[in-house]
Amino acid sequence: MKNFHTKKLKEIKLWAWAATVLPITLLCILFLVQILGFDAVKQKILVIGGTIMFTLSVIWWWWALHTIGSVTYLLSETLKKFKKVNTELDELKEDIKDIKDT
């Protein structure tokens, strides 16, 4: 978890690139095939492209769920550490108060 944010930022950039470039590339190929009139090829490209997009969508979904789970775990651990620090500060205040009273 040490380099969690760096790793996730790289992954986010990769997914953003894939979400931008791949659909546009597929559409450009389909337009080109439509203009050139290759109907048999167009059907194959649609099936292959649709399968790739569906697969990437499922992979992205599980990546997003895993990332959300990791962030939630990280926040939970951080909250536990803050509670511990808060408890220690309260004890320190009590010790300082006891020292002043004596």
pLDDT band at 1 (very low <50, low <70, confident <90, very high): low
Q: What is the pLDDT of residues 29-40, one digit of tens each?
A: 989 998 888 888
Does residue 16 contact residue 8 with C-beta atoms inside 8 Å? no
How far is residue 26 from each of residues 12, 14, 36, 51, 54, measured CA to CA in Å? Answer: 21, 18, 15, 12, 13
Q: What is the pLDDT of residues 12-63, one digit of tens each?
A: 999 999 999 999 999 999 899 988 888 888 889 999 999 999 999 999 999 9
The tokens describing 38, both together, are 């290759």
Structurally, how many domains does the chain consist of? 1
Does residue 48 contact residue 33 with C-beta atoms inside 8 Å? no
- The residue segments making up the domain with residue 94 are 4-101
